[in-house]
Amino acid sequence: MSFDLPVTAAKSGKTDAILDWLQMISGVALIIFVFMHMTLVSSVLINPGIMDAIAHTYEANYMAQVGGPLLFLLFLFHFYLAARKIPFRLEGQKTIWAHAKMLNHRDTWLWIVQAASAMIILIMGSIHMWAVLSDLPITAARSAARMQSGPWVYFYLLLAPLVVLHVVAGLYRIAVKWGVAKDYSREKLNKIAIGLGIAFIVIGLATIVRFMTLAV
Amino acid sequence: MGRQLKFKIFRFNPQNPESVPRMEVFSLDETDSMTLFIALNRIREEQDGSLQFEFCCRAGICGSCAMVINGRPGLACHTKTKDLPDEITLTPLPVFELVGDLSVDTGSWFREMYNKVESWVHTDKVFDPNAIEDPMDNAIAEEIYELDRCVECGSCVAACGTARLRDDFMGATALNRLGRFVIDPRDKRTDEQYFEVIGSDEGIFGCMGLLACEDVCPKNLPLMNQLSYLRRKMGVVALKQIFKK
Ligand code: HEM
Ligand code: SF4
Ligand code: FES
């Protein structure tokens, strides 16, 4: 009987399934990291002393020295996984761009925003991590000094909103792909994502302004 | 009443070596309850007899009249002109092979899809024409019926960014079709056998969650829920296989 005949498998193996799991898990880990990171750095808004104390705790426990490079590996790992989906050839880029323009569909545009912001974050995120981790310890004064020198403020004014955008889009995407949100809760999820996005962009910008005004 | 509609329609006949792809403009006065089915037929009768497009049931049942309407795939017979602006752009569905003008060959695509997902109940039970049909739990029957409402118009595939980027991606309608057998108690295929068919980037793991399928499906099939259900189910199958070893 046909049901125990070998199925005409287009392609077998578990690789794609595992990579999809890992993509989701790396995404969730990065979402948690970014939200925690931005919240902790924003403690400078209350008082630079608090930020120094938090940073000091992290360094005393080697979480910055070990965690930092580990995070960089996670960042590269996530890039490796997600890049499987990005069209790197011009032909593919033209196709998806024309498709998005034709459809004019929110979640299709959102994916383009996510893929495009990803490429910028890959470069700027690496620069940011290098700049901070090669100049330990982390203190409010050092961050303020960096922010006030050269083009760094523009660098962060671009990076912070882009990361928030990418992360919030990722959160939305994971929730709809894995069924955390169902069709009836999709618009609610969308509102939560927009709310989170606005909140963290405001926190990020406020932190940048605080660093700009901190006496060094 | 009395709107003058401007139709910009894609024209190209691949059979004719002289034909070049182009957009042609037609004007038509809008009438009451006009659908694109009515409009296209009037254009063909009154203005250009060579215009190619497909229709059959004109009631949203056969799925043959799907086309891209102002950028969005949808059924022409189900679309009222009063819901559209004065200017209406019609192009054929992408992904599928063009027959001519607005007509595409969805039939061959779907035929291949049936073969790929083996779109039939797999059972070793010998069919007895004289026996009474096995009863099925009503809730399950309704759940299957909900997924069986697909009219195979191809809109979800044409709207899918993933399908546009990689032509081996099966698309929402195929995944939905397989999902229909997953919940059918008569089908004796195991989860591992289903995984063989859709457990890859050609199947469920290729889906990037763009959800255009969900948003364009003219029959409002629960594609978003169905795709996430299959992703979780197939994801678990893969994990089980690894930890069993
Ligand atoms: C701070 C760093 C980053 C964070 C927090 C982050 C977070 C996320 C999250 C949560 C997702 C959703 C995953 C999913 O749909 O399964 C995602 C998707 C994605 N990320 Fe990132 N990401 C970061 C950096 C990058 C970088 C550097 C790249 C690569 C250039 C990248 C490329 C992508 C792409 C293309 C997707 C879409 C994948 C898909 O739809 O299947 N991300 N990211
Ligand atoms: S799932 Fe919806 S959009 Fe896709 S082929 Fe079926 S009816 Fe058409
Ligand atoms: S003609 Fe049958 S669905 Fe439109």
Please give the average pLDDT of every successive group of 10 residues along chain A, which has 216 residues.
39 81 93 89 78 79 77 91 89 91 93 93 90 77 79 88 95 95 91 94 89 74
Measure the CA–CA gap between A65 and B161, rounded to whole angstroms: 41
Looking at the fold, whether B132 and B226 belong to one and the same domain comes out as: yes
Looking at the fold, whether B123 and B72 belong to one and the same domain comes out as: no
Instruction: Give the pLDDT confidence score for residue A48 in this predicted structure.
Output: 79
From B72, B104, B136, the end of a domain falls on B104
Which structure tokens are listed for B104? 């595409």
DSSP H or E segment with residue A125: helix A106-133
Length of chain A, in residues: 216
Q: Is A4 on the interface with B (CB under 8 A)?
A: yes
ipTM of this predicted complex? 0.87
Instruction: Give the pLDDT confidence score for residue A12 in this predicted structure.
Output: 54
Looking at the fold, whether B159 and B235 belong to one and the same domain comes out as: yes
What is chain A's Cα-based Rg?
Answer: 20
Q: Per the domain annotation, does B110 fall within a domain?
A: no
Using CB atoms, pick whichever of A14, A19, A178 lies closest to residue B228: A178
The domain in which residue B157 lies consists of 118-244
Looking at the fold, whether B240 and B180 belong to one and the same domain comes out as: yes
Measure the CA–CA gap between A125 and A131, rounded to whole angstroms: 10
Q: Per the domain annotation, does B152 fall within a domain?
A: yes
Question: Closest Cα to atom 8, ligand 2: which residue?
Answer: B153
Which structure tokens are listed for B220? 């409002």
Query: A82: closest CA among A162, A23, A17, A167?
Result: A23
Instruction: Give the pLDDT confidence score for residue A6 in this predicted structure.
Output: 40
Q: What is the DSSP letter of A137?
A: S
End-to-end CA distance of chain B: 70
Instruction: Give me the CATH number covering residue B214.
Output: 1.10.1060.10
**Do A183 and B225 make contact, defined as CB atoms within 8 angstroms?**
yes
Instruction: Give the pLDDT confidence score for residue A216 in this predicted structure.
Output: 64
Cβ contacts of A186 on chain B, cutoff 8 Å: 211, 224
Q: Is B93 on the interface with A (CB under 8 A)?
A: no
Looking at the fold, whether B197 and B234 belong to one and the same domain comes out as: yes
Instruction: Give the pLDDT confidence score for residue A62 in this predicted structure.
Output: 75
Instruction: Give the pLDDT confidence score for residue A9 in this predicted structure.
Output: 45
Find residue B4's DSSP bridge partners: B29
Instruction: Give the pLDDT confidence score for residue B137 in this predicted structure.
Output: 92
Cβ contacts of B201 on chain A, cutoff 8 Å: 16, 84
CA angle B99, B100, B104 (to 5 degrees): 45
Measure the CA–CA gap between B113 and B129, rounded to whole angstroms: 29
Q: Per the domain annotation, does B156 fall within a domain?
A: yes
A81 in contact with ligand 1, CB cutoff 6 A: no
Total number of domains constituting chain B:
2
Q: Is A2 on the interface with B (CB under 8 A)?
A: yes
Looking at the fold, whether B156 and B239 belong to one and the same domain comes out as: yes
**Do A108 and B122 make contact, defined as CB atoms within 8 angstroms?**
no
Looking at the fold, whether B145 and B240 belong to one and the same domain comes out as: yes
Cβ contacts of B243 on chain A, cutoff 8 Å: none
Q: Which of A21, A24, A30, A123 to mutate to test the pocket of ligand 1 (most atoms within 8 A of CB)?
A: A30
**Do B199 and A182 make contact, defined as CB atoms within 8 angstroms?**
no
Measure the CA–CA gap between B169 and B163, rounded to whole angstroms: 5
Looking at the fold, whether B88 and B125 belong to one and the same domain comes out as: no
Cβ contacts of A12 on chain B, cutoff 8 Å: 196, 199-200
CA angle A202, A25, B177 (to 5 degrees): 110
Q: Per the domain annotation, does B173 fall within a domain?
A: yes
Instruction: Give the pLDDT confidence score for residue B245 in this predicted structure.
Output: 65
**Do A18 and B159 make contact, defined as CB atoms within 8 angstroms?**
no
* Contact between A211 and A144 (Cβ < 8 Å): yes
Instruction: Give the pLDDT confidence score for residue A87 in this predicted structure.
Output: 87
**Do A1 and B205 make contact, defined as CB atoms within 8 angstroms?**
no
From B75, B104, B133, the end of a domain falls on B104
**Do B123 and A16 make contact, defined as CB atoms within 8 angstroms?**
no
Looking at the fold, whether B69 and B162 belong to one and the same domain comes out as: no
Distances (CA, A) of A215 to A96, A101, A128: 48, 47, 22
**CB neighbour list of residue A163: distance below 8 Å, 6 or more residues apart:** A34, A117, A121, A125
Query: A4: closest CA among B112, B196, B193, B184?
Result: B193
Cβ within 8 Å of A, B 115-144: 115-116, 118, 122-124
Looking at the fold, whether B100 and B137 belong to one and the same domain comes out as: no
Cβ contacts of B214 on chain A, cutoff 8 Å: 183
Which structure tokens are listed for B108? 């061959």
Instruction: Give me the CATH number covering residue B92.
Output: 3.10.20.30
CB atoms within 10 A of CB A187: 10
Q: Per the domain annotation, does B16 fall within a domain?
A: yes
From the CA of B57, which ligand is nearest?
A: 3
Distances (CA, A) of B30 to B59, B77, B84, B159: 20, 15, 11, 28
Using CB atoms, pick whichever of A3, A16, A92 lies closest to residue B200: A16
Domain A7-213 belongs to what topology?
3 helical TM bundles of succinate and fumarate reductases (1.20.1300)
The model's pTM: 0.88
Low-confidence ranges of chain B (pLDDT < 50): none
Measure the CA–CA gap between B152 and B181, rounded to whole angstroms: 16
Atom index in ligand 1 nearest the CA of residue A83 equals 35
Looking at the fold, whether B188 and B220 belong to one and the same domain comes out as: yes
Looking at the fold, whether B122 and B236 belong to one and the same domain comes out as: yes
Q: Crossing angle of helices A15-41/A48-60, nearest 10°?
A: 140
3-class DSSP string for chain B? CCCEEEEEEEECCCCCCCCCCEEEEEEEECCCCCEHHHHHHHHHHHCCCCCCCCCCCCCCCCCCCEEEECCEEEEHHHCEHHHCCCEEEEECCCCCEEEECCEEEHHHHHHHHHHHHCCCCCCCCCCCCCCCCCCCCHHHHHHHHHHHCCCCCCHHHHCCHHHHHCCCCCCHHHHHHHHHHHCCCCCCCCHHHHHHHHCCCCCHHHCCCCCHHHHHCCCCCCHHHHHHHHHHHHHHHHHHHHHHC
Q: Per the domain annotation, does B111 fall within a domain?
A: no
**Do A103 and B196 make contact, defined as CB atoms within 8 angstroms?**
no
Domain extent listing, chain A:
7-213
> Looking at chain B, which residue has its C-alpha nearest residue A91?
B165
